Homo-oligomer: A and B are copies of this chain.
Amino acid sequence: MEENKQRSHILRGNILYARSPGELVTAERAFLVCIDGKCAGVFETLQDAKDAMPEQYADLPVTDHGDCLIIPGLCDLHLHAPQYAYRGLGMDMELVDWLNRVTFPEEAKYAEITYAARAYDDFVSDMRQTATTRMAVFGTIHAESTLLLARKLSEAGFGAYVGKVNMDRNAPDCLRETDATESFTQTMDYLRKFAFLKSQGKISDRVHPILTPRFIPSCSRELMEELGELARQQGLKVQSHLSESKKEIAWVMELESDMPNYGACYARAGMMGNPVPSVMAHCVWSSPEEIEMIREGGVFIAHCPQSNTNLASGIAPVRSYLDAGLHVGLGTDIAGGFSRSVFRAMADAIQVSKLYFRYVDESKKPLTLSEAFYMATMGGGAFFGAVGSFLPDYELDAAVIDDTGLRSVLAMNLAERLERAVYMPEQCVLQAKYIAGERVF
């Protein structure tokens, strides 16, 4: 394993990465230099040319990935690990029904650590084989099970924010913390144990805890205030759900009738961005006021097109979000989404944007491939730091994709090969994966 841990080296192959939403950079059979886990540059040739590699890197070992595509690792900005076991089931329900009938009873089982261990083994070993390198992931309300999830993700090399969920109202007894105090105490316990495991080297420095109030209907005002205060004190990030479906929003407005909109409930607790970095899943039906709050706070939007379709929630207006310069990444939202593939999320994002264009607003032109690729890499990556591109000083996360299964009588350039890999990832093979320069697959 020593070789795999080496963090200064060179990868050779067909390199593709985003520089901005509209700009895809490609380089055939080029050299990607990794120094101490970070990108030091992409060079067309080894020497004697304009874009040649500087001499100082000449002695680094080169891993040649042949004709494969080398892209930044994909970032999954929103998913639920305990829902992995039943992905693709119960897809004939809308959000609130689906939570009560499918999700909550199943998540309650994670009180038992042996059940969690089996389920999270499946989850992590399957995710390991995807092109995903970073994720913002929900556990359950159970501290011990969620710590186990964090350890397993760490062992598999992932970069991740892992959240113990908070829920102190509107959930069945088996999946509800008795009150705000109990929920807060459990969270403190989670954070303390997380820090201890890190100090023991049992959780890597790429895996972090994140505050995870499930959504407003599940969290009392008192709990939200305490969590917001904790986030500010300890510099913790926050993940939650926002304006996913119309029924959910109506419910929130009923529960919090003195608030002007859903987002304001998070803002009141200091969880809509600055100074607390936060990621909100969905934002399908955000009002202009809520969008302005997102913009001001620098809140990340986790766009989850497949889940929003499966639960008949709707289509998030992503063209508008990109035009407004908001931070937008992609989420699989397992198991509102059935697919664990962020490639699929890219394709879904493009597809639903075409239906939005057709049925909602013809002035919002559909997303392009390069925009979807940007969101899946650089857009979501920014939540994790300098992640999601091969620009200098970015952490070197890379997925090496063998696309020979997409053979054709036609010759294709690199951008075309990427487009096909995005639409047909099941016909490609992950040949290798690197996270912060380390080979993890």
Instruction: List the interface of chain A (C-beta within 8 A of B).
Output: 85-89, 91-92, 106, 115, 118-119, 122, 306, 309-310, 312-315, 338-339, 350-352, 354-355, 357-360, 366, 368-369, 406-410, 412, 416, 419-420, 422-426
Contact = CB atoms under 8 A, between A and B. Distances in A.
User: Max chain B CB contacts within 10 Å: which of A87, A368, A408, A420?
Assistant: A408
Given A314-B358, A338-B424, A352-B355, A409 B88 contact: no
A24 to B, nearest CB: 13
Given A89-B420, A91-B369, 8 more contacts: A87-B424, A88-B422, A92-B369, A106-B410, A115-B409, A338-B423, A355-B355, A425-B426
Nearest to A357: B312
Contacts of A408: 85-86, 122
22 contacts: A85-B408, A85-B409, A87-B423, A87-B424, A88-B406, A88-B423, A88-B424, A89-B419, A91-B369, A92-B366, A92-B369, A119-B409, A122-B407, A306-B351, A309-B354, A312-B354, A314-B355, A314-B358, A314-B359, A338-B420, A338-B424, A355-B355
User: Max chain B CB contacts within 10 Å: which of A309, A351, A355?
Assistant: A355
Nearest to A421: B88
Contacts of A407: 122
| Top 4 A-B pairs, shortest CB-CB distance | A426-B426, A88-B423, A312-B354, A88-B420
A355 B315 contact: yes
A343 to B, nearest CB: 11
Contact of A89 (B91, B118, B310, B416): B416
Contacts of A91: 350, 369, 419, 423
Contacts of A89: 412, 416, 419-420
A409 B82 CA distance: 11
Nearest to A309: B351
Copies of this chain, tallied across the complex = 2
A402 to B, nearest CB: 15
A366 to B, nearest CB: 6
A311 B86 CA distance: 32
A339 B119 CA distance: 31
Contacts of A310: 351, 354
Nearest to A347: B338
Contacts of A119: 409
A32 B312 CA distance: 37
Contacts of A115: 409
A314 B362 CA distance: 12
Given A351-B310, A423-B338, A359 B357 contact: no
A371 to B, nearest CB: 10
Contacts of A306: 351
Contacts of A315: 355, 359
A358 to B, nearest CB: 5
A419 B354 contact: no
Contacts of A410: 85-86, 106
Given A115-B409, A409-B118, A88 B355 contact: no
A419 B309 CA distance: 16
A230 to B, nearest CB: 33
Contacts of A368: 92
A282 to B, nearest CB: 14
Nearest to A339: B424
A360 to B, nearest CB: 6
A312 B366 contact: yes
